[in-house]
Amino acid sequence: MTAWLGTGALAQAVERGGSRTKQDQLVAATPGGAHPQSTLTPDQALAQLMEGNQRFVARRQSNPHQDFARLTEVATGQAPFAAILGCADSRVVPEIAFDQGIGDLFVVRVAGNIAITEDIASEEYAVGVLGAPLLMVLGHERCGAVAAALEGGELPGVIESLAIAIRPAVQSSEGEAGDRLTNAVKANVRLQVERLQTSSVIAAAVQEGTLKVVGAYYDLDTGEISLVS
């Protein structure tokens, strides 16, 4: 468990908080207190994301919220309608793939889109303070981090920590019909969705119906994003 959670320092500090709710703890610890929040429901937020991707795939982008007026509008506060845990791969850029703009998405990117402590903490902020109604884990075709975990062997530096976080997904996908790497990538998305929901902040929002957590898969060849169940 601790192998994929990272340092755990922030998570431990939050969990040791007093009797206030997790969201109250987060808001109280945030400069300026409460922030403006999206008015979309979780289902509406998901629909808006997927509609944006369809525009991107069809080469009919509207490129919303990408001008200086938008920059000025959100300079003093943000209310993203979706939070993304995505891969650091340079070919997978959520704002472009979903045809969104400045202030629309709260994006955390790390190789292999893994949910270690610091990434979970960042998404807790998106959910508990900014009130994002949707949280998506976005994996992608031919992910190098997943491929490294699949191939095994010794990895240099601390890259091994990525493989450690992904290997349970590789193991769970072994024996499935189809391409091994694709199966492992999708299994890893499902695994990270589960790990995000070990957060008491995220789990509480899901239980209250104010948040939906989903997994998705990006096709590098077409740009199309599909949900992973």
- What integer is the mean pLDDT of 140-166? 95
Residue 19 to residue 72: CA distance in whole angstroms: 38
**pLDDT score recorded for residue 14:** 45
Indicate which CATH number applies to the domain containing 82: 3.40.1050.10
Mean pLDDT of 4-11: 47
Rounded-to-integer distance, Cα 144 and Cα 136, Å: 20
Backbone angles phi, psi at 193, to 5 degrees: -60, -45
Per-residue pLDDT averaged across 102-129, rounded? Answer: 98
Residue 3 has pLDDT above 50, yes or no: no
Q: What percent of the chain clears pLDDT 90, i.e. is strictly above it?
A: 82
Look at the chain and report how many structural domains it folds into. Answer: 1
Alpha-carbon gap, residue 127 to 136, rounded angstroms: 12
First to last CA, the chain: 24
- What is the reported pTM? 0.87
Q: Are 164 and 114 in contact (CB under 8 A)?
A: no
The half-sphere exposure of 6 on its side-chain side, counting CA atoms within 13 A, is 16
Residue 140, classed as helix, strand or coil, is strand
If one compares 69 and 8, the residue with the highest pLDDT of the two is 69
How big, in percent rounded to 5, are the helix, strand and coil portions of the chain? 45, 10, 40
- At residue 229, the pLDDT reads 87
Is the pLDDT assigned to residue 28 strictly greater than 80? no
Q: Which of 165, 155, 156 is nearest to 111 (CA)?
A: 165
> H or E element: which one contains 137?
strand 134-140
Instruction: Provide the residue range defining the domain that includes 138.
Output: 2-228
Model confidence pLDDT, tens digit, residues 54-97: 999 999 999 999 999 999 999 999 999 999 999 999 999 999 99
Instruction: Kindly write down the DSSP assignment for every residue of 177-229, as one continuous string.
Output: SS-HHHHHHHHHHHHHHHHHTTSHHHHHHHHHTS-EEEEEEE-TTT--EEEE-
Q: Which two tokens stand for residue 222?
A: 């077409």
Query: Sorting pLDDT into bands at 50, 70 and 90, what band is 26?
Result: low
Report DSSP state, residue 30.
S
Cβ proximity of 199 and 128 under 8 Å: no
Q: Strand, helix or coil at 138?
A: strand
